[in-house]
Amino acid sequence: MANERPTGLKANKGIELLTFGTPNGWKASIYLEELKEAYGTEYTWQSINIFENIQKEPWFTALGPNGRIPVIVDHDQGGFPIQEGLAILNYLTRKYDTEHKFSFTDPFDVSRMEQWMAWQHGGLGPMQGQANHFNRAAKERIPWGMQRYVGETERLVGILDNHLKDKEYLVGNKYSIADISSFGWIHILLFAHVDLDAFPNVKAWWERILARPAVQRGVLVPAKSEISNDIYLQRLADDKEFAEKEKILREQIAAAKEKYGYKFASP
């Protein structure tokens, strides 16, 4: 299943998830694993290799017009498709978290949950995504872009750290889709050259969530990621060439910060 190039939907019942092993993809796969464990909600998945641009093919964009993963299709609701992580988490909650095991009923907690999810969707995800882009994918190393987006990611992780100072979870001291929304980005924080140890409350929260069996299964959909914090550290230890490249990148980011007088401030 994982190695076949998808050309369309495969399932005809339950939820079908079209995804890849990234923080946005994990929002859907982790939540679907949680719902499966808690309620028996059935789901299947297909791997959409974003490096092969399967997400830009007409069959895919007919379901997710933005041409990005994740997308889910609810076969039990006439094949209704949903794109965007935030909308997927909300749809699944309304339809399938009937006992509010991962969500809230109190309107103020519902609002708090929405606020943290909006914060992730408009802040942490896009900024960290741009940090990775300017650090690694951009055709040239642009110091301004590197320090701007790594710095903005640090600022945002600082916000999270401050909020989690006396809390186990983001809202109402209960694990919810607000936590699921941001977890994946922290799960690859080291890859963005942001030091997780500098944010002890975030680190403890990340470990707490990672200890959940459904989360451990969710981050393996569709396959183990090369860039999650644990594997990143392992590669640094095992692969000399990789470690050398990362050292150079770390120095470039430090030089970029120095050049523009970057100072950590959060907020």
Ligand X SMILES: N[C@@H](CCC(=O)N[C@@H](CS)C(=O)NCC(=O)O)C(=O)O
The residues of the shown chain that bind ligand X, judged by CB under 6 A, are 22, 24, 50, 55, 67-70, 84-85, 121, 125
Shortest reach from residue 165's CB to ligand X, in Å: 27
Nearer to ligand X, 58 or 107 (CB): 58
Shortest reach from residue 50's CB to ligand X, in Å: 4
Residue 78 CB coordination number (10 Å): 7
Q: Are 39 and 96 in contact (CB under 8 A)?
A: yes
Nearer to ligand X, 86 or 146 (CB): 86
Residue 227 CB coordination number (10 Å): 17
Q: Are 93 and 102 in contact (CB under 8 A)?
A: yes
User: What sign does the CA torsion over 42, 48, 54, 55 have?
Assistant: positive
Shortest reach from residue 163's CB to ligand X, in Å: 20
Diameter of the chain measured on Cα atoms: 56
Nearer to ligand X, 179 or 256 (CB): 179
Shortest reach from residue 84's CB to ligand X, in Å: 5
Nearer to ligand X, 85 or 158 (CB): 85
Half-sphere exposure of 62 (CA within 13 A, CB side): 7
Query: How distant is the alpha carbon of residue 89 from its chain centre?
Result: 12
Specify the pairing of strand 80-83 against strand 71-74. Answer: antiparallel
Shortest reach from residue 234's CB to ligand X, in Å: 22
Nearer to ligand X, 70 or 222 (CB): 70
Query: 81 vs 52, 60, 76, 98, 229, CA distance in Å?
Result: 22, 10, 11, 20, 31
Shortest reach from residue 243's CB to ligand X, in Å: 25
Nearer to ligand X, 55 or 229 (CB): 55
Output the six-digit token pair for 42.
Answer: 């059935």
